A and B are shown apart, each in its own frame.
Chain A
Amino acid sequence: MKKSAAVAISVIAVGSLLGIAGCTSTPSDSSEKTIKVSYIKTDAFTALDDLFNKVKPEFEAANPGVTVELDPIAATDDDYKTKLALSHRSAETAPDVFYEDQGNVRSDAEAGYLLALDEYTAKWDDWSEFTDAAKQAGAGDDGKIYSISLGTDTRAIWYSKTVFTNAGIDVPWEPQSWDDILVAARKIEASDPSVVPFNLYAGTGTGEGSNMQGFYELLYGTDLGGDALYDSESNKWVVGSDGFTESLEFLKTIYDEGLALTPAQALDPNIWKSVFGEMFPNAKLGGTVEGSYTPSFWVEGGSFEWADYATEMGATAFPTQDGQAPGGVSMSGGWTLAVGSKSENPQLAFDFMAQALSFENALEYDNVNAQIAVRKDVAADESYLGANPFVGAVTDLVEVTHFRPSTSIYNQISVEVQKASEAVITGKMSPAEAAASYDAAVTSIAGDDMVIEK
Chain B
Amino acid sequence: MTAEVISTAQATQDERRPGPQRSGRRSALLKISRFVRMIPLVPAIIIMVVFLAGPIIWSFYGSLTNAALSGANAANSSFIGFDNYVKLFNDPVFPQSLWITIVFTLASAVISQNVLGLGIALVVTRANKKLATIVSSTVVGAWILPEIVAAFVCYAYFSQDGTLNQILALAGLTGPNWLYTFPLLAVVLANLWRGTAFSLLVYQAALNDVPPEISEAAMIDGAGGAKRLFFVTIPMIKNTITTNLMLITLQTLSVFTLIYVMTSGGPGNDSTTLPILAYKEAFRFGNIGYGTAIATILLLIGAVFSIIYIRAARPSKD
Contacts and interface: CB of A to CB of B under 8 A. Distances in A.
Nearest to B283: A82
Interface residues of A, number: 29
Nearest to B282: A82
B285 A412 contact: yes
A340 B225 CA distance: 70
A205 B266 contact: yes
B264 to A, nearest CB: 8
B180 A111 contact: no
Nearest to A429: B268
Interface string B255-294: 0000000001011100000000000000111110000000
A11 interface: no
A426 B70 contact: no
A426 B180 CA distance: 10
Interface stretch (B49-57, B71-79, B103-111, B145-153): B71-79
Main secondary structure of the interface of A (DSSP, over half): helix
A77 to B, nearest CB: 12
Contacts of A415: 284-285
B160 interface: yes
B285 A111 contact: no
A412 B73 CA distance: 14
Interface residues of B, number: 20
Contacts of B75: 110-112
Interface in B147-206: 160, 177, 180
A450 B75 CA distance: 22
Interface string A283-315: 000000000000000000000000000000000
B70 A264 contact: no
A78 B260 CA distance: 15
Contacts, number: 68
B102 interface: no
Given A267-B180, A267-B266, A423-B268, A82 B284 contact: yes
Among A89, A111, A408, A426, the one with the most B-chain Cβ atoms within 10 Å of its Cβ is A111
Contact of A108 (B70, B177, B267): B70
B267 A411 contact: no
Contact of B74 (A113, A409, A423, A428): A113
A190 interface: no
A423 B268 CA distance: 8
A422 interface: yes
A78 B285 CA distance: 10
A409 B284 CA distance: 12
Nearest to A82: B283
A422 B73 CA distance: 29
A429 B287 CA distance: 26
B232 interface: no
B69 interface: yes
Given A112-B74, A112-B75, A85 B69 contact: yes
Interface in A400-425: 408-409, 411-412, 415, 419, 422-423
B296 to A, nearest CB: 20
B268 A111 contact: no
Contacts of B160: 264
B155 to A, nearest CB: 11
A408 B71 contact: yes
A113 B70 contact: yes
A422 B258 CA distance: 23
A107 interface: yes
Interface in A60-105: 78, 82, 85-86, 89, 104
Interface string B201-236: 000000000000000000000000000000000000
A204 B73 CA distance: 25
Contacts of A412: 285-287
Contacts of B70: 85, 104, 107-108, 110-111, 113, 408, 411
A423 B286 CA distance: 22
A264 B178 CA distance: 10
A204 B266 contact: yes
A411 B285 CA distance: 6
Contacts of B285: 411-412, 415
Contacts of A408: 70-73
Among B73, B285, B287, the one with the most A-chain Cβ atoms within 10 Å of its Cβ is B285
Interface in B236-269: 264, 266-268
Which 4 residue pairs are nearest across A and B when measured between Cβ atoms?
A: A408-B71, A111-B74, A264-B180, A112-B75
Given A82-B283, A423-B268, 8 more contacts: A104-B70, A107-B71, A263-B180, A263-B267, A408-B72, A411-B285, A412-B285, A426-B268
21 contacts: A85-B69, A85-B70, A89-B74, A108-B70, A111-B69, A111-B70, A111-B71, A205-B266, A263-B180, A264-B267, A267-B180, A267-B267, A269-B264, A408-B70, A408-B71, A408-B72, A411-B70, A411-B286, A412-B286, A415-B285, A422-B267
